[in-house]
Structure 1
Amino acid sequence: MNCGEAQYLPHLSHRLMASGQFAIVKKCREKSTGLEYAAKFIKKRQSRASRRGVSREEIEREVSILRQVLHPNVITLHDVFENRTDVVLILELVSGGELFDFLAQKESLSEEEATSFIKQILDGVNYLHAKKIAHFDLKPENIMLLDKNIPIPHIKLIDFGLAHEIEDGVEFKNIFGTPEFVAPEIVNYEPLGLEADMWSIGVITYILLSGASPFLGDTKQETLANITAVSYDFDEEFFSQTSELAKDFIRKLLVKETRKRLTIQEALRHPWITSKGEVRAPEQRKTEPTQLKTKRLREYTLKCHSSMPPNNTYVNFERFARVVEDVAWVDQGCCVLAEAHDTIQDDVEALVSIFNEKEAWYREERESIRHNLSQLRYEFRKVESLKKLLREDIQATGSSLGSMTRKLDHLQMQYEALRQELSADLQWIQERVGSFQLESGSTDGLGSMFHWDASESLVELLNRLGSKEVLASLKL
């Protein structure tokens, strides 16, 4: 998005062409060429937490879709720039007003004329659906005329703020749009596709031919209930001059099951769209085409553009056009104030809810931390107690080891003394035995035997004495 605001000048009249909840449209002129355009100012959302303005993602989606489209029945994007508060779309100037306002000013409308306008709508939607783009906000306010001062004005589809690219295999759900024109799948929060636009075309066609809205109730809830129940009929009061083919076209669009609803290609091939006068009964073809009265359509458009009671009608539409516009501005201002109040109220409630949730969470966390701290204190005391017992055991073991070491040293000394004493005794005995052998003589067999027996006895005696001494020492 560039920042080329300086290359466009506001129109001298400074006339506001249209406005919405977070967008306004003004006429402007390009300095370099002098060409006039419509500048759509979209208020940017300043933060993720705010509900005022349009998110960056939604604005970029609208710009991306507008950059893809180029068709005679779809508005054209010329340029985009932004300032601190707004993103500004420079769009093709569509100055002919709304289709329904144009038709409401006519005394009557032939079905062939109605078909020609519906055909243009279908052509524009066909182009979008071929690109897998769903408009999702088709309604009379978004069907404009490029120039109304020609016999059959050129239709332009505008406002792609809700449009989405439908991706195969990607489920998309949302609740948006104008209740009077939304499809049942939007009301029921079911997966959405191109079929939702076809339902809206069915509602638009119904209103165009009759001046009555098929599902509009006294309240929003009643309207949505009528849509989900597909509760409508062709009242003879409204459709006495309407052909059966036109009713068939509407019936096949206002179908709850999306699989059974006409696609855009099937709608373009429908006999009511393709025929050129054959829609009338045979006895009517020899006469002038049947004219549909636009009185009810005039009443419908007045009701849509003002806050006056629905039973207020005007004989001269032109005379009250300015009054209706002024009343609409006042009504819109009141609606904006009401929405601002509701938004602030919602924000306050959301903040209170967040505060309560955070307070509950902190309370739970505090209790959990307190419990964990208590458990840690208990475990610490337990470890300290075990540490103390282990220290005492180590000290007792050390003391026992010292005592055993001293006893072992004492036993080793006793053993060494006993060994020396035994060694001395053995040496003395050996000397005695040696002297005895010398005295007895080496050839005397009796002396040798005596010597052997004496030696054996002496060794056994020494072993016994040595063992007893050692055992006695160990018992000390």
Structure 2
Amino acid sequence: MMKRVTKKVGKYEIGRTIGEGTFAKVKIAKDTETGEAVAVKVLAKTTILKHKMVDQIKREISIMKIVRHPNIVRLHEVLSSHTKIYIILEFVSGGELFDRIVHKQKLSEKDARGYFQQLIDAVSHCHSKGVYHRDLKPENLLLDAEERLKVSDFGLSALSQEGVELLYTTCGTPNYIAPEVLRKRGYDGAAADIWSCGVILYVLLTGYLPFEESDLPTLYKKVSAAEFSYPLWFPSGAKSLIDKILDPNPKTRIRIDGIRKHPWFQMNYISISQGEECDVCLDDVRAVFEDIEDQYVMEKSEEKIAPLTMNAFEMITLSQGLNLSALFDRRQVVYLTHYRIM
């Protein structure tokens, strides 16, 4: 019998594929020095070039190196071969919080509060580093073996720039997007993330979305007006907090400090709000992309292929009567969260 050859990248033995998307595969691997399991996101350089994703991938990797917190998926390092880029990530074995909600239909008040507290700690740390996630939803919240929440997928995140107070890119998942993001007049990334956290808390406690329509124009009207209702059994303390979070006016919307002081949030709260304070070295990121920079510049001057993040929002909203019901599973309304604007 022939011995199976184990593929190795750096100090990592690469195993089976555990996830696959349009532009990347995720494989489980083992750190041969520590024996620790890690997740390896594998991207083909040709794909990154073809879809003009160089800047986006570099930004995502750099941001994940900046935000180090117990409730954020850790990026260990970035490696490359002649044809591929390997992003070495913490392996989170418990799956998506989204799947937990679908399985249980809704979470207990205690469990929902615990996950929400961890989410707020993670988001607070991101904001302290000038990072705004912009696509917070249960699919991007993972659970580890100890039921600890881990924020993932910083593909649409933004890093604040000195002297620039507002963001202008309209992106995210429609049911979780803050009203001001839809108005295209610039928005505060921190306030927009907080709105998404409020929607997540509502979903955790009910098992369904507060804003749910099959056509986007109607959905956006409801979001803009914060037009939603609570079931009769909804916890009064959580309702009091969500009312302050899902305020359509970002200037009067509650901030993270206010959320932390709210009596409902305070119950059994043990803060782990402080992430690691360490010097961030981006040398490995620069090294990985160095050999494709020249090719990238050359490609940009050739055929015009639409970037991955370009104008999906405008294409959708131009069709005012667009009905998206065929894309959604009406039996499980929380599945609406799968549709993302980039």
| Fold-level similarity (TM above 0.5) | yes
Higher RCO (CA < 8 A, seq sep 6+)? 2
In the alignment, residue 206 of structure 1 is paired with which amino acid?
Y
Taking a change above 3 Å as real, the CA distance of residues 107 and 125 of structure 1, as seen in their structure-2 partners, is closer
Instruction: State the secondary structure of the residue aligned to 2:239.
Output: helix
Instruction: State the secondary structure of the residue aligned to 1:61.
Output: helix
Establish whether residue 140 from structure 1 lines up as the match of residue 141 from structure 2. Answer: no
Instruction: State the secondary structure of the residue aligned to 2:87.
Output: strand
Establish whether residue 310 from structure 1 lines up as the match of residue 330 from structure 2. Answer: yes
Instruction: State the secondary structure of the residue aligned to 2:155.
Output: coil
Taking a change above 3 Å as real, the CA distance of residues 262 and 244 of structure 1, as seen in their structure-2 partners, is same
Contact kept, 8 Å, 1:78 with 1:91, in 2: the verdict is yes
Written as runs of structure 1 = structure 2, the 5 A alignment for 1:38-53 is: 38-44=39-45, 50=50, 52=51
Q: Distance in 2 between matches of 1:204 and 1:68?
A: 24
Structure 1 counterpart of 2:205: 209
* Structure with more helix by fraction: 1
In the TM superposition, what is the alpha-carbon distance from 1:25 to its structure 2 partner? 1.8
Structure 1 counterpart of 2:308: none
Q: What TM-score, normalized to structure 1?
A: 0.52
Establish whether residue 15 from structure 1 lines up as the match of residue 17 from structure 2. Answer: yes
In the alignment, residue 69 of structure 1 is paired with which amino acid?
V
Structure 2 counterpart of 1:118: 116
5+ residue gaps in structure 2?
1-7, 270-325
Instruction: State the secondary structure of the residue aligned to 1:258.
Output: coil
Q: Distance in 2 between matches of 1:102 and 1:310?
A: 19
Structure 2 counterpart of 1:173: 168
- Output one character per residue of 1:374-414: Cα deviation in whole Å (capped at 9) or x when no partner: xxxxxxxxxxxxxxxxxxxxxxxxxxxxxxxxxxxxxxxxx
In the TM superposition, what is the alpha-carbon distance from 1:254 to its structure 2 partner? 1.1
Percent of pairs identical after alignment?
34
Aligned partner (choices 255, 263, 267) of residue 247 of structure 2 = 255
Work out the number of aligned pairs and report it.
Answer: 271
Runs of 4+ in structure 1 off by over 4 angstroms are 43-48, 306-309
- Output one character per residue of 1:9-50: Cα deviation in whole Å (capped at 9) or x when no partner: 222xx2323x444233221222333321111124546687x5
In the TM superposition, what is the alpha-carbon distance from 1:207 to its structure 2 partner? 0.9
Q: Distance in 2 between matches of 1:113 and 1:76?
A: 23
Q: Distance in 2 between matches of 1:220 and 1:83?
A: 42
Q: Distance in 1 between matches of 2:224 and 2:21?
A: 27
- Output one character per residue of 1:277-314: Cα deviation in whole Å (capped at 9) or x when no partner: 9xxxxxxxxxxxxxxxxxxxxxxxxxxxx97842379x
Q: Distance in 1 between matches of 2:332 and 2:90?
A: 35
Written as runs of structure 1 = structure 2, the 5 A alignment for 1:37-436 is: 37-44=38-45, 50=50, 52=51, 55-106=53-104, 109-147=107-145, 150=146, 153-170=147-164, 171-192=166-187, 193-234=189-230, 239-276=231-268, 309-311=329-331
Structure 1 counterpart of 2:37: 36
In the alignment, residue 72 of structure 2 is paired with which amino acid?
V
Q: Distance in 2 between matches of 1:95 and 1:274?
A: 28
5+ residue gaps in structure 1?
278-305, 314-323, 325-331, 336-476
Q: Distance in 2 between matches of 1:114 and 1:186?
A: 26
In the alignment, residue 9 of structure 1 is paired with which amino acid?
E
Q: Distance in 1 between matches of 2:61 and 2:106?
A: 39
Q: Distance in 2 between matches of 1:178 and 1:107?
A: 21
Q: Distance in 2 between matches of 1:5 and 1:36?
A: 14
Taking a change above 3 Å as real, the CA distance of residues 43 and 220 of structure 1, as seen in their structure-2 partners, is farther
Taking a change above 3 Å as real, the CA distance of residues 258 and 108 of structure 1, as seen in their structure-2 partners, is closer
In the alignment, residue 29 of structure 2 is paired with which amino acid?
C
Q: Distance in 2 between matches of 1:140 and 1:66?
A: 19
Contact kept, 8 Å, 1:111 with 1:242, in 2: the verdict is no
Taking a change above 3 Å as real, the CA distance of residues 307 and 55 of structure 1, as seen in their structure-2 partners, is closer
Instruction: State the secondary structure of the residue aligned to 1:250.
Output: helix
- Output one character per residue of 1:164-191: Cα deviation in whole Å (capped at 9) or x when no partner: 1223531421021111111122222232
Taking a change above 3 Å as real, the CA distance of residues 221 and 116 of structure 1, as seen in their structure-2 partners, is same
Instruction: State the secondary structure of the residue aligned to 1:91.
Output: strand
Q: Distance in 2 between matches of 1:140 and 1:108?
A: 12
Contact kept, 8 Å, 1:166 with 1:194, in 2: the verdict is no
Structure 2 counterpart of 1:362: none
- Highest Rg: 1 or 2? 1
Contact kept, 8 Å, 1:42 with 1:86, in 2: the verdict is yes
In the alignment, residue 210 of structure 1 is paired with which amino acid?
T
Q: What TM-score, normalized to structure 2?
A: 0.71
Taking a change above 3 Å as real, the CA distance of residues 219 and 26 of structure 1, as seen in their structure-2 partners, is farther
- Output one character per residue of 1:411-463: Cα deviation in whole Å (capped at 9) or x when no partner: xxxxxxxxxxxxxxxxxxxxxxxxxxxxxxxxxxxxxxxxxxxxxxxxxxxxx
